[in-house]
Structure 1
């Protein structure tokens, strides 16, 4: 259920795998995405189970409608009813709130400054990485009092550069914005490494404590992959502060 968890001086980071939930085929088992065609009651149960496994109150987990952009919403508490913003990053200075990001190949980016008590969760797919969602998330954190030199960054399971095949023209377009994302598949064709691009962006911003989950979603049957399966569930990354 909780595939990986990291803790750092009162900041907590976690990434789910696909097991331990109640969703039926093709979303088996722990689908946490509410907009992929799964039974809404199954998604609610799965979100409650995942939160419980982390010791979180499901009502204090904050989600977003992800649109592959670079907008950031500041979070002061759970959203009012269905008023969930269409953004690709959340930032908060409120302890006790968990920020969540959904992925199934894109890079989930979890950030926290344990000293300033500021956290952010970002959804960095190829378009979002190019648009600058990660720099936007860090900028939002700085506005709330964070220092990039203190930020702890964890990136979760995502399709790797050896597997993310794209047309040559797309690779060139991405690399023109972020050269570190230039990649080649294991079979020798053009590819994009979004996680490498995210790491490079963080390093340029002064974030030094960066670790990757080391899991390729396309290669791992323990994780959801849209590129592999098309109709599938979504994983979640969570970040919160004591």
Structure 2
């Protein structure tokens, strides 16, 4: 069910699912009841108790939504949750199948950790959705922010037209790449890592290539594929 899972600091866990957890997206033509059941099993696997992971309606933009409690998913490509009173931060999820799933955790002192997720595909890297997420976390009081990048398509596999590579590299130079067979490509994880470094955020983990791993969903491998998730949650 989990491709990678770790308690990244006391009381905070980060995980990325694999195909064993099944498709977690409602927008890919899957049976909604089956998706809801898989999401519930994932909540149980993370020992969330009476809580559930919050999902969002991702649109390849750079909107960052502030989430205080579980509810209808916002239309956004990033979410931030902060503890309030006796209420812990809301567990968060980001879905991908080649884009970069970014999970962030920051310290807010006695208030507890501030957590966030971001969906960084080609448009998101170009429009700086990850730096926007970091800025929102800092506005809310987060310091010492760290990031975990889940599996995504690598710079040796993500072939794009040369003009598109140049357009993205103009705003995210580290994303410029070539495929292993010599054609223009984009390295989205490298672009995200560079944006995080510029923002002073430490990258603790960067995952494998989705296209090269059959245990991960990849839209480039199969355009009718499902979506796996990047997750972050707090616990006792």
- Tell me the TM-score normalized by structure 1: 0.90
8 Å contact 1:175–1:181 — kept in the other structure? Answer: yes
Unaligned runs of 5+ in 1: 21-29
Residues 143-169 of structure 1 deviation map (CA, whole Å, 9 limit, x = unaligned): 11112xx11210001000000000000
Q: Secondary structure at the match of 2:117?
A: strand
8 Å contact 1:11–1:241 — kept in the other structure? Answer: yes
Correspondence for 2:17: 16
8 Å contact 1:60–1:77 — kept in the other structure? Answer: no
Pick from 223, 226, 233 the counterpart of residue 233 of structure 1.
Answer: 226
Q: Secondary structure at the match of 2:124?
A: helix
Pick from 115, 118, 134 the counterpart of residue 114 of structure 2.
Answer: 118
Q: Distance in 1 between matches of 2:214 and 2:202?
A: 31
Pick from 30, 35, 50 the counterpart of residue 43 of structure 1.
Answer: 35
Moved more, 49-58 or 89-98: 49-58
Q: Distance in 2 between matches of 1:209 and 1:157?
A: 14
Correspondence for 1:7: 7
Correspondence for 2:191: 197
Alignment of 1:81-120 (within 5 A): 83-94=72-83, 95-116=88-109, 117-120=113-116
Residues 1-30 of structure 1 deviation map (CA, whole Å, 9 limit, x = unaligned): 01101222232110000015xxxxxxxxx1
Q: Distance in 2 between matches of 1:168 and 1:88?
A: 26
Residues 37-82 of structure 1 deviation map (CA, whole Å, 9 limit, x = unaligned): 0001110111111121111247431111000000000011011xxx
8 Å contact 1:101–1:123 — kept in the other structure? Answer: yes
Please tell me whether residue 78 in structure 1 is matched to residue 34 in structure 2.
Answer: no
